[in-house]
Structure 1
């Protein structure tokens, strides 16, 4: 029975925000090809989305006796969570090889099983 995995895609938001239309179109084409390759190789994508800029995030923090709500990303790093896929597969190593096809230089993907 396939395991469900979440593929978390982290990258440089500034690179995406400053990319020209052709570069963005090529990136979307890479994601379309990734989706097609997943289907061909038995990985079932059951969900996922591109996320808006981390500058639009709201962070809720439990500071022992009180909760705080702040704007902006949780961490001040170049790499931010930019999107995710939810994938059912029996072969996470093959999925990891396919995920490499949608990463820009310097990007990172985390593939984590759903509990």
Structure 2
């Protein structure tokens, strides 16, 4: 069964940190609904995580003399950054996209990418 990663590259981290438990629960419920919709279409969420604390993130790039250049924070400029992801399996890509449509209720951008197996 093909594997995909569903990415959330534009969630507003400061807004999430300031949210009430009830506001966060709406996101959790919507994410759960995605899993149910995906399962109804023959797919499955196999993993995932919310990424937090971008203040402690580090970005590594090639530097001079083959040394790595380490900078603070995520690579993406501004507030846009990867804040979470789901790993999923699904035989039908269109069914995955249909199931993921519910996610835009709480995530401003949802990106789906196939995963190459190594």
- Paired residues, number: 114
The secondary structure found in structure 1 opposite 2:22 is helix
Give the aligned partner of residue 20 of structure 1. Answer: 20
Shift of residue 70, structure 1, vs aligned partner: 2.0
| Bigger share in strand | 1
| Bigger share in helix | 2
Give the aligned partner of residue 35 of structure 1. Answer: 35
Q: TM-score, normalised by structure 2?
A: 0.84
Consecutive unaligned residues of structure 1, counting only runs of 5 or more, are none
The secondary structure found in structure 2 opposite 1:108 is coil
Shift of residue 51, structure 1, vs aligned partner: 1.0
Give the CA RMSD over aligned residues.
1.8
Give the aligned partner of residue 72 of structure 1. Answer: 73
1:18-40 residue CA offsets vs partner (Å, 9 max, x unmatched): 22221101111111111122112
**Does structure 2 conserve the Cα–Cα contact (< 8 Å) formed by 1:45 and 1:88?**
yes
1:30-70 residue CA offsets vs partner (Å, 9 max, x unmatched): 11111122112111111111111322211111125221122
Q: TM-score, normalised by structure 1?
A: 0.86
The secondary structure found in structure 2 opposite 1:103 is helix
1:62-97 residue CA offsets vs partner (Å, 9 max, x unmatched): 125221122211122222111111111112222122
Consecutive unaligned residues of structure 2, counting only runs of 5 or more, are none
